[in-house]
């Protein structure tokens, strides 16, 4: 298969982890006889420095033409002055919106070797396999913002259509899994959440009668997620709640550096990125965990290119590399930790057999 992949390294550890993910993609393409071309463009702080814009027009144009987009992370202290007129994060929000990527899938499957890196007791982590479907192009991140000398506001709005499409996405996903959906809101306080709950309940009742829906308030959800994570399967929620709950959920896996994501919409192009940020505290040291970015390209292969076998190969290889003790500093303290490049090599060395041989070319 031929595919054009746009790479947006971004800032901080973004270039380090996307380089790792591209190395893995190149290797799998070579071994399985695919022709992937990689084009790089600027986004975030790097783009502000070069052009003054967090999402230059040629980056967006390249994204629209690509078969899939791989993104590292954006942001950092250099661009975080509260008075700044443009911010790296605006570039990320803008590309998600422009590509119509309303469903952000964030799977959480803790690996036993990383149980010790999690603050949660191992018996609670055994068998956890959940996926958060985060609404990605609406809510408070996108509402009108105001600022005066002594007040500020961020408007949170959701339309029925925006809620319907992401609830349907979560329900279709749940039909391939346990047929259970937990919809998370704050309906005891927020009007947008009351609308969210009404729409979720209606969609499930009218269109997915086989699905068991639980409505859960976000504050208690934050607690249940850590206290009884095994009981959840598909969790669907609005933009900001999903952002926060998934960083929390990364502690089930042991590190932010282990959670990938896929951002999908009704359009052709999907965007794939680790859920973590630019990690300025470790940037440039060669110690960032690349597994989340590498697992993100597995999602890219599956969702954008339909290459399930290749996606499975990468996921198995990461699991095997972890099982063999290839742990970065976020997972293993002290001198036994390996760096970004060694972890990338370990994934390639652990590709299962079907990925080692090129099969028939297209």
Ligand X SMILES: CC(C)CC(=O)C(=O)O
Provide CB contacts within 8 A for 303, sequence distance 6+.
262, 264, 270
User: Which of 11, 89, 238, 315 forms a contact with ligand X (CB under 6 A)?
Assistant: 89
Cβ proximity to ligand NAI, 136 vs 181, nearer residue: 136
| Catalytic annotation, pick one of 11, 186, 232, 330 | 186
* Binding site partner of 162, from Mg ion, ligand NAI, ligand X, none, Cβ cut-off 5-8 A by kind: none
Size of site (CB under 6 A) for ligand NAI: 22
Spatial CA neighbour of 301 closest among 102, 74, 14, 31: 31
Return the residues of window 284-323 that contact ligand NAI according to CB under 6 A.
Answer: 288-289, 292
User: Which of 92, 253, 332, 348 forms a contact with ligand X (CB under 6 A)?
Assistant: 92
| d(C-alpha 190, C-alpha 182), whole Å | 18
141 flagged as catalytic? yes
Cβ proximity to Mg ion, 245 vs 348, nearer residue: 245
* Binding site partner of 93, from ligand NAI, ligand X, Mg ion, none, Cβ cut-off 5-8 A by kind: ligand X
Q: Is 89 in the site for ligand NAI (CB under 6 A)?
A: yes
User: Which of 67, 162, 273, 310 forms a contact with ligand NAI (CB under 6 A)?
Assistant: 273
| Catalytic annotation, pick one of 4, 129, 247, 309 | 247
Q: Is 73 in the site for ligand NAI (CB under 6 A)?
A: yes
Nearest-approach distance from CB 239 to ligand X, in angstroms: 8
Nearest-approach distance from CB 274 to ligand NAI, in angstroms: 6
Return the residues of window 99-158 that contact ligand NAI according to CB under 6 A.
Answer: none
247 flagged as catalytic? yes
Compute, in degrees rounded to 10, the torsion defined by CA atoms 248, 130, 308, 13.
Answer: 0
Q: Is 252 in the site for ligand NAI (CB under 6 A)?
A: no
Over the window 227 to 246, marking each residue x when it contacts ligand X by CB under 6 A and - when it does not, the resulting string is ----------------x---
Half-sphere exposure of 263 (CA within 13 A, CB side): 25
Cβ proximity to ligand X, 28 vs 260, nearer residue: 260
User: Which of 3, 29, 70, 93 forms a contact with ligand X (CB under 6 A)?
Assistant: 93
Tell me whether residue 87 is annotated as binding: yes
Cβ proximity to Mg ion, 93 vs 170, nearer residue: 93
The bridge status of strand 234-237 relative to strand 130-135 is parallel
Q: Is 76 in the site for ligand NAI (CB under 6 A)?
A: yes
158 flagged as catalytic? no
> Which of 31-39, 108-116, 151-159, 237-245 is the region at the interface with Mg ion (rule: CB under 5 A)?
237-245
Residues designated as active site = 141, 186, 219, 243, 247
Binding residue numbers? 76-89, 96, 106, 134, 219, 243, 247, 277-289
Q: Rule CB under 6 A: which residues touch ligand NAI?
A: 13, 17, 73-76, 89, 92, 256-257, 273, 276-282, 288-289, 292, 330
């Amino acid at each position: 298969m031929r595919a054009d992949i746009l790479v947006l390294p971004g800032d901080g550890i973004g270039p380090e982890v996307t380089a790792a993910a591209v190395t893995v993609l190149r290797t799998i393409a070579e071994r399985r006889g695919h022709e992937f071309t990689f084009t790089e463009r600027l986004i975030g702080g790097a783009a502000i420095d070069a052009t003054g814009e967090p999402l230059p027009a040629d980056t967006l144009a390249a994204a629209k033409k690509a078969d899939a987009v791989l993104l590292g992370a954006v942001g950092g202290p250099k661009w975080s002055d509260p008075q700044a007129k443009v911010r790296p994060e605006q570039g990320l929000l803008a590309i998600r919106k422009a590509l119509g990527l309303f469903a952000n899938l964030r799977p959480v499957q803790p690996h036993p070797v990383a149980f010790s890196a999690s603050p949660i007791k191992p018996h609670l982590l055994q068998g956890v396999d959940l996926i958060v479907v985060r609404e990605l192009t609406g809510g408070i991140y996108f509402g009108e913002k105001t600022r005066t000398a002594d007040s500020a506001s961020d408007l949170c709005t959701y339309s029925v259509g925006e809620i319907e499409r992401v609830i349907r996405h979560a329900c279709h996903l749940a039909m391939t899994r346990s047929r259970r959906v937990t919809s998370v809101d704050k309906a005891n306080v927020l009007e947008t959440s009351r609308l969210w709950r009404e729409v979720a309940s209606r969609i499930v009742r009218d269109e997915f009668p086989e699905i068991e829906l639980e409505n859960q308030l976000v504050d208690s959800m934050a607690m249940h997620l850590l206290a009884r994570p095994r009981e959840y399967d598909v969790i669907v929620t609005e933009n900001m709640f999903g952002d926060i709950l998934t960083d929390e959920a990364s502690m089930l896996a042991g590190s932010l550096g282990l959670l990938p994501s896929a951002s999908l919409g009704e359009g052709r192009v999907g965007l794939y990125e680790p859920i973590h940020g630019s990690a300025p505290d470790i940037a440039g040291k060669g110690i960032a965990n690349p597994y989340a970015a590498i697992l993100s390209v597995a999602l890219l292969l599956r969702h954008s290119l339909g290459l399930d076998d290749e996606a499975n190969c990468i996921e198995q290889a990461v699991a095997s590399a972890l099982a063999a003790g290839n742990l970065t500093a976020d997972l293993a303290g002290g001198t036994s930790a390996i760096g970004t490049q060694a972890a990338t090599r370990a994934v390639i060395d652990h590709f299962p057999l079907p990925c080692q041989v090129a099969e028939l070319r297209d």
